[in-house]
Structure 1
């Protein structure tokens, strides 16, 4: 595309690498810190600014950019290194172990010692609610019943919550109600 730049960005936990290809096809590599709070909010955007020679006060002219492609290992690294936020799991009552059991895959079916993978959540609260596979509500949700346990989890320093209710793909209102309660209690994610 005549007159336009292409950018490829790899955002890692420590550094962000930016490769810009100018309209003539010349490559311009640039490396910067992924986190530099005093200097910029977003490393990828700052990297594009640096390559284009644009100051932080100027907008990046969209007509000068054809494509931006970005990849990151930040989330994968956080999972592998177990460095993410502490997580609370809210799940339909009776399904506390559903994620732990998963597919019941066992490489050695006759093993006497079964080593299960470590879960991403730290605490589980079962929620009284039930939705059938067709979306019919079998048991209405009362968000207030779970409030004390959720508040305690927040007080204990758990920062994130995952809400997993059966058949929420068909009827999401219960998950939405719990999300609202969790935000009210102070969960940001």
Structure 2
């Protein structure tokens, strides 16, 4: 399926016909036709639509022997719109300053969440946006964030407008996996 040629698969269940789209969207054929004629069947990321961002946080122990504080760190940001979910790591968000600022402003006020900021990593020999220990502010390296995913939970959700910056970030994260999909009127700003 390409932008120039939308395609759906028609399947039958108990005498009812359903349209199967990418991203596991399945709906009665009548609903698909309603979306097509209502201009809600779109390719890729619709500009100026709305989405919901979810902040995920998990716990990790500080690696410094003199600290060892249990710290909450941001393990990722999920942006959900229509059938799509795009997930961003903290270092990825650092590549988009406007998006990083928006997420930073939405973090819950919790004394045990470490600061997000640009730090130098001796392991990676580069500076990047990273989590830090809430007590000593030591870097929590990107590789070690995976340990916090065992305890992660969504701690905040907020609506976002799909601005050109969000659209670019999402499209780059999806790496040419854009497809045709059906969106709700509210997701399209209709």
Alignment TM-score, normalising by the size of structure 1: 0.23
> Which of 1 and 2 has higher RCO (CA within 8 Å, sep 6+)?
2
Q: Choose between structure 1 and 2: higher strand proportion.
A: 2
Larger radius of gyration: 1
